[in-house]
Amino acid sequence: MSLTELSLRRPVTVTMVFVCLAVIGTLSSRLLPLEFLPEMEFPGIYVELPYRNSTPEEVERLIVRPVEEALSTLSGVKRMNSESREDGGGVFVQFDWGADLRIKGVEARDKIDAIRDSLPDELQRIRFQKFNASDQPILVLRVSANRDLADAYDMLNRNLRRRVERIQGVSRVELYGVWAKEVRIELSADRVATHQVDLRQVAEHLRAANFEFTAGEIAERRRRFTVKPNARFNSLEEIEQLVVGERGLRLGDIAEVRYTDPVRTRGRHLDGKYAIGLNIFKENGANLVEVADAVLAEIDVISGLREMQGITLYAMDNQAAGVKDSLNELLMSGLVGALLSILVLYAFLRDWPMTLIVALSVPFSILITLGSMYFLGFTLNILSMMGLMLSIGMLVDNAVVVTESVFTNRERFPNDPQRATIAGVDAVALAVTAGTLTTAIVFLPNIFGKKDEMSMFMSHVAITICISLAASLAIARTLIPQLASRIQGRVNQGGRIMQAILRRYPRMIAWTLRHRWVAIVTALGVGVSVIPLFASGLVKADMFPRNDTERLFLPYHVNGVYALDKVEAAVDEIEAYLFANKEAFEFDSVYSFYDLGRAESTIILKDAEARTQSVEELKNAIMAGLPKIAIGNPTFNEQRSGGEQLSLFITGESTERLNEVAEGVARLLEGVSGIRDARVEADASSWEVRVRVDRDRARKVGLTSQQVAESVATAIRGVELRPYRAATGEIDLLLQFRRADRLNLDQLRLLPIRTADGSSVVLGQIAELSIGDVPATIRRQDRRTGLRVNLFTQDDVTPDELRERMTPLMDQYRMPPGYDWRYGRAFNQQDENMGSMVTNLLLALILIYLVMAAMFESILAPFAIITGIGFSFIGVFWFFALTGTTFQFMAMIGMLILMGVVVNNGIVLIDHIRNLRVGGMPRDEAIATGARDRLRPILMTVGTTVLGLIPLSVGTASVGGDGPPYFPMARAIIGGLTFSTVVSLLFLPAIYSLLDDFGLWLRRLSRGARGERVTGFAARQR
């Protein structure tokens, strides 16, 4: 008993099953976790190496390079990047997608533990960080006020951070831009020198006097007690009274103990006011929108507190808003597309009950998909929503074909609706099943194939489409036939236009069958026509083009290290210019970040609907009058949808020579057509005092170079001691020279260093001090030091065009020995993604052929249908040329979906022709009759799919609200499907006929080789 027969015999049961599934889907839509991106783990590990108050060169030499050597022995390392800064370093290791990061994390920790003894003792606790899509903050808030908030940590921590952390669904809250106070023991260089105090011994006295640990347990009278020796400092006075030297010298005699704010080295502005940042993260599985709404509601309450008066809270980044905007745009596009599809169905069917029955498959399929996603543990995110949106136009395809076949069989069995229904469904059952399978199977390489960034994202789109198509197939085989069998009447042939097409189409097919080679040559001409499109530049390919969002990033390119007040003054000057022209520049807010050697302003534009100028026009207007600043040269960053800027990477060993080479390359590339600017990505260099120890002098007084270096580090960098415990919690405790002594070179020369015999010498007696510059950051890629040259391109240039122009120029450029260049990750990323998609397209093509070969029990027949895929690709490029659309990454996704959709029409057509031939009809007559019978359902399915995507193709909806736009994908499907449908309806019968003759010729050769009698091609018309 088939599913259709079961549905007709048990109509109430089947109806209740689908009603239950619809109810479950409705409930699941409210229970599904709403996310920005699905749960995905990026195959990389970041090793953070905190080492404060050092230099990048020292961090690179002592820490980063040894760690790189250790981590390079890990298996499956794809890429390794590192950077060394004055406050430490970091090493990022990327593996292949699919690597088990839990195992890799353990292995990385073991590798570093093995070399831990060779790393500096002052190296703080090494942290390992993994990356997950859900690790991004759902809300990024900025706190600004008219008053200075630099010392408001306790108030903000109490009223803001802790209150938000208590909200259900919030996992953690980061408060930055304001720091907790610390206890600082500031040594006086003069007093230290006068009392000849050994700084290392002072640090040891403090460590020994401030401790707490568990010493074991004792039992007495059936009770168990924990023994805990405790010598914690209880007050600042107690710290000052600590004896640290001979003759009762106390710490207060040589130092001042202060409870104070840390030295501020960075700052933030929001609309010209000092600002503080707040990042809010949600728990795994929590609903993104619900948590964000709850947080914002609590923020409104917090804003009303008396202590928070005059303080403004601004949501700078809101993932929930992006998701809601994206979902609303997709939902609106889906509703408009569904409405257009219903109108198309009615235009063909001219019967409202029949139209509504076919359209019923859309909501039922979507609800079943939502229920399945909930029980399979998926989330509702921008990728799954994209899959639902793309499937809307395809969900009616099976229902259209089944309904058309059922009402066609009514003419054979006018008095037996159930028999006509069963016969109609059976006639197309294999075709709709194979069509659904081929549509779904194109995603198989993305789901089960080699894992990369593209396939990981595509798999979430694919699973949603596959589930919805499977649901539409089940509905088309059960619920649709049951409802159709209860409608009286015959199939409506449509209006005058449709009837005229049905009359003339068989004549066109007959002509192409009589002039098959003319049709084939014409089809080949259509295929060749795509070549001039690329040769003339009418179609440009750029996988990750420039992405003009509603935020403009203006880095200042600071040319040195300056006092924070000076950098802030430059920021104030730029902000004053922007706000003086706020209406002309059409922005809402300006957020700025700055530190000693870096500054950047983010200009948040008004919504696109409220602007009269394009993003590029606004950039030009801002740059036209931008004030010149002494500390840098502000220019806009180039934003690309792939997240990476086009660049070259220059590698070598000497950092100083690297700067010279990179600057030379930048000047060379500025002359390349299509490049408007080239800049070396180098942080501002800073000055350092170099202490060169005279080993002979140090040895004579009983000191080693290491002991001298440790004494200098204690004085300047400071020593982090065990935290000081107060009533409000633990407070950092730091020992170092006071700021005036640390900034004074003469005082540093007089630094006393205790020798082994108890006497002391000053630093200037055993070392030479000099001043030199040092890079603020040293970057390495794959264990080679390098600098990046960022390329700022013109609007009409693509990466491939730039590569063609730059490669011969760079090959001729003479690099110094030991220095080399290579293209940055943005160029390689485009090649990798293109190669991955081409591989998946070829695998999908093979899988489609296997399914159709098994379905038709023929090796040659599938080739006739596969030609439709080639025609669809030609249609994509022609449509892109006519609409001026750049071929992007999203267009590749559209072509992948297109492969599965296009073959449906061919399968329905060829399957019907073969059934007519099996019934005894001559081949050419069967071709003409089959083409006429399947013309209406093919046009209906194409019309519903195309019109369902029209809103996306002309809209501005993008992934996540600010990601790649959807319109290239929609236009690829529309152009390819429309073109291939027209061409295939005209040429596919002739191609099928020729392939059939070719098969007969092969069989004739086979029989002749076996010695059987061959009578010619008389059988070709059978």
pLDDT surpassing 50 at residue 529: yes
Give the model confidence (pLDDT) of 740-752 as tens digits. 776 667 777 777 7
Question: Looking at per-residue confidence, does 603 or 840 come out higher?
Answer: 603
Give the model confidence (pLDDT) of 373-429 as tens digits. 888 888 888 788 878 877 776 777 788 788 878 877 777 777 777 888 888 888 888
| Domain of residue 982, CATH code | 1.20.1640.10
Report d(CA 289, CA 282) in Å as an integer.
10
1009 Cβ partners below 8 Å, 6+ apart? none
Sheet with 182-187: strands ordered across: 255-260, 182-187, 729-737, 719-726
The predicted model gives 545-574 an average pLDDT of 81
Q: Would 394 be classed as within a structural domain?
A: no
Report d(CA 160, CA 141) in Å as an integer.
11
Q: Which residues pair with 132 in a beta bridge?
A: 41
| pLDDT computed for residue 23 by the predictor | 92
Q: Would 836 be classed as within a structural domain?
A: yes
Report d(CA 770, CA 154) in Å as an integer.
42
Report d(CA 480, CA 401) in Å as an integer.
11
| pLDDT computed for residue 156 by the predictor | 85
Q: Can you give the C-alpha Rg of the chain in angstroms?
A: 36
The predicted model gives 431-441 an average pLDDT of 83
| pLDDT computed for residue 20 by the predictor | 92
Do 761 and 864 share a domain, yes or no?
no
Report d(CA 48, CA 51) in Å as an integer.
10
The predicted model gives 100-104 an average pLDDT of 85
Q: What CA–CA distances, in Å, run from 374 to 27, 28, 30, 189? A: 10, 6, 10, 67
From 638, 668, 696, the end of a domain falls on: 638
The predicted model gives 496-521 an average pLDDT of 80
Report d(CA 550, CA 436) in Å as an integer.
40
Q: Which residues pair with 266 in a beta bridge?
A: 595
From 638, 671, 701, the end of a domain falls on: 638
Q: How confident is the model at residue 490 (pLDDT cuts 50, 70, 90)?
A: low
Q: Would 90 be classed as within a structural domain?
A: no
Percent of the chain with pLDDT over 70: 89
pLDDT surpassing 60 at residue 125: yes
Classify residue 795 as exposed, middle or buried by CB count within 10 Å of its CB (0-12, 13-18, 19+): exposed
The interaxial angle of helices 199-209 and 705-716, nearest 10 deg, is: 60
| Strands 182-187, 729-737: pairing kind | parallel
Most confident of 122-136, 231-245, 958-972: 231-245
Tokens encoding 565: 């007040």
The count of domains in the chain is: 3
The predicted model gives 474-480 an average pLDDT of 87
Among 753, 748, 752, residue whose Cα is nearest residue 768: 748
Among 463, 280, 469, 449, residue whose Cα is nearest residue 381: 463
Give the model confidence (pLDDT) of 176-230 as tens digits. 878 778 888 888 877 877 777 777 788 888 888 877 777 777 877 778 878 777 7
The predicted model gives 917-924 an average pLDDT of 83
pLDDT surpassing 50 at residue 737: yes
Q: Would 742 be classed as within a structural domain?
A: yes
Report d(CA 255, CA 244) in Å as an integer.
11
Containing structural domain, residue 619 = 548-638
From 606, 638, 670, the end of a domain falls on: 638
Do 630 and 693 share a domain, yes or no?
no
pLDDT surpassing 50 at residue 956: yes
Sign of the torsion formed by the C-alpha atoms of 368, 370, 373 and 375: negative
Percent of the chain with pLDDT over 90: 1
Do 862 and 1000 share a domain, yes or no?
yes
Report d(CA 451, CA 789) in Å as an integer.
30
Give the model confidence (pLDDT) of 851-878 as tens digits. 888 877 888 888 888 888 888 888 888 8
Name the residue with tokens 């007559």: 925
Question: Looking at per-residue confidence, does 948 or 976 come out higher?
Answer: 976
Do 536 and 554 share a domain, yes or no?
no
**Amino acid found at 219:** A
What's the angle, vertex CA 228, arms to CA 224 and CA 232, rounded to 5?
155
Do 892 and 972 share a domain, yes or no?
yes
Q: Would 442 be classed as within a structural domain?
A: no
The predicted model gives 624-650 an average pLDDT of 77
Per-chain mean pLDDT for the chain: 80
87 Cβ partners below 8 Å, 6+ apart? 50, 51, 52, 53, 54
Most confident of 323-327, 484-488, 587-591: 587-591
Report d(CA 386, CA 388) in Å as an integer.
5
pLDDT surpassing 70 at residue 799: yes
Q: What is the DSSP string of 330-368?
A: HHHHHHHHHHHHHHHHHHHH--HHHHHHHHTHHHHHHHH
Tell me if residue 1022 falls in helix, strand or coil. Answer: coil
Q: Would 368 be classed as within a structural domain?
A: no
Q: Are 423 and 412 in contact (CB under 8 A)?
A: yes
pLDDT surpassing 50 at residue 1018: no
CB burial of 292-315 (b: ≥16 within 10 Å; e: otherwise) equals bebbbebbeebeeeeebeebebbb
Do 902 and 768 share a domain, yes or no?
no
Do 749 and 828 share a domain, yes or no?
no
Do 934 and 835 share a domain, yes or no?
yes
Report d(CA 1014, CA 1022) in Å as an integer.
16
| Domain of residue 608, CATH code | 3.30.70.1430
Q: Would 576 be classed as within a structural domain?
A: yes
Tokens encoding 194: 């006068």
Report d(CA 394, CA 439) in Å as an integer.
9
The predicted model gives 509-514 an average pLDDT of 83
Q: What is the DSSP string of 287-312?
A: -HHHHHHHHHHHHHHHHTSGGGTTEE
**Amino acid found at 759:** S
Give the model confidence (pLDDT) of 670-717 as tens digits. 888 878 778 777 655 555 666 777 778 878 878 887 778 777 777 777
End-to-end CA distance of the chain: 32
Name the residue with tokens 């593996």: 95
**Amino acid found at 631:** I
Q: Are 735 and 192 in contact (CB under 8 A)?
A: no
Do 532 and 554 share a domain, yes or no?
no
Question: Looking at per-residue confidence, does 828 or 91 come out higher?
Answer: 91
Classify residue 229 as exposed, middle or buried by CB count within 10 Å of its CB (0-12, 13-18, 19+): exposed
Do 586 and 634 share a domain, yes or no?
yes
pLDDT surpassing 60 at residue 350: yes
| pLDDT computed for residue 343 by the predictor | 79
CB burial of 321-332 (b: ≥16 within 10 Å; e: otherwise) equals ebbbbbbebbee
Q: Which residues pair with 689 in a beta bridge?
A: 771
Q: Which range, of 2-16, 347-361, 969-983, averages the lowest pLDDT?
A: 347-361
Q: Would 574 be classed as within a structural domain?
A: yes
pLDDT surpassing 60 at residue 146: yes
Do 836 and 961 share a domain, yes or no?
yes
Do 541 and 576 share a domain, yes or no?
no
Please state the separation of Cα 527 from the chain's center in Å: 36
